[in-house]
Amino acid sequence: MRHLLAAMCAAILAGPALAFEPTDGALGMQPAATRIAERIHQFHGFVLVIITIITIFVLALLLWVIFRHNKKANPQPRKFSHNTLVEVVWTVVPALILVAIASQSFPNLYYQDVVPNLEQITSKSKQLQADGKTGAYERYTKNYFPEAAEKGFVNIKAQGNQWNWTYTYPDIVDDAGYPLEFVSNPLQVGLSTDSKEGVRNLSVDYPMVIPVGRYIRYYTAAADVIHSWTVPAFGVKTDAVPGRLNEGWFLVDQPGVYYGQCSELCGVNHAYMPIEVRVVSEEEYARWAELMLAGDYDAAAASVRQVASTEQATKFAAKQ
């Protein structure tokens, strides 16, 4: 009860922008930080209503059968079989329920799975504005972001290793033409000598850093076994498979610190393979990239931690 009351108070007082990590005693999913996650939460609420109605209906039928048709109430049971209307109803109604769920599920799956065509987004949004279709433009830009589309993708590769992540930024290259690449190690691995800094079992030494309000196209691969790059607040979960390159996308419109973990059982240290993503402004992202290219990884990590701690929302999320 104490945890339940604490979670309810935190939900009321904190607001959705503040919690980007698992919270003890919390209820429901982490607040959505992307449009993908928002749509997932909406679909979750839609299905929750349906299954609640089904559960109550089935419970009512069970109680009705238990009390109305028990041996005491019916010492002489009636003998009959089949009822055409009942047969039709219990066949058609479940089928219609599945159709209703599919009508919401399939568009979400397509939205998440297909990487947006940024040129098409830009041209379509301009056309809607030129045609004066304000309503259509607002509906379209709720799911697609023309201003971000004009800036292009930020491409990142996340390779899973036992037990850390290697991040590669092919768009950020040094003077020799080599892309920025670094290994992100956990600060805690279940030992008494673990660092006490950061969020337990979620913080890393060198986090993945991305600019706010930009389309992020990420690729996943693995060096050994199957891993899975997962950040709950983004609504993304993509397997990293050896010998295969998978891809996904997301866009975060709020600076902050976001955490995730490998979601495939990848070995003895599977529980110590965290993901830390720091979302910063374009200027701060450029400064971080400059320091990383110079080889000063510690200064680069310190720069985004300092920047993040100045944000009101991130103060709470980082707990630093």
Q: pLDDT tens digit string along 201-225?
A: 999 999 999 999 999 999 999 999 9
Residue 45: CB atoms within 10 Å: 10
Query: CA–CA separation, 61 vs 66, rounded Å?
Result: 9
Alpha-helical segments (H) within the chain: 2-14, 35-68, 84-113, 118-130, 134-143, 146-151, 282-293, 297-309, 312-318
Task: Return the structure tokens found at 89.
Answer: 């109803």
Instruction: Give the pLDDT of residue 307.
Output: 57
Q: What is the mean pLDDT of residues 26-46?
A: 92
The pLDDT-based confidence of 165 (bands split at 50, 70, 90) is: very high
Class of domain 152-318: mainly beta
Residue 313 has pLDDT above 60, yes or no: no
pTM of the full structure: 0.82
Q: Which helix (H) or strand (E) holds 237?
A: strand 236-240
Helices (H), 131-221: 134-143, 146-151
Residue 246 C-alpha from the chain's centroid: 16
Closest CA to 181 of 228, 231, 237, 219: 219
**In the chain, domain spans:** 35-107, 118-148, 152-318
- Over the chain, what is the mean pLDDT? 87
pLDDT above 80: residue 14: no
Q: What pLDDT does residue 182 have?
A: 96
Q: Is the peptide bond before 90 cis (omega within 30 degrees of 0)?
A: no
Check residue 1 and give its pLDDT. Answer: 40
How does pLDDT run across 57-95, given as a tens digit for each residue? 999 999 998 988 888 877 887 777 778 898 999 999 999
Burial of 165-176, coded b for 16+ CB within 10 Å and e otherwise, reads bebbbeebeeee
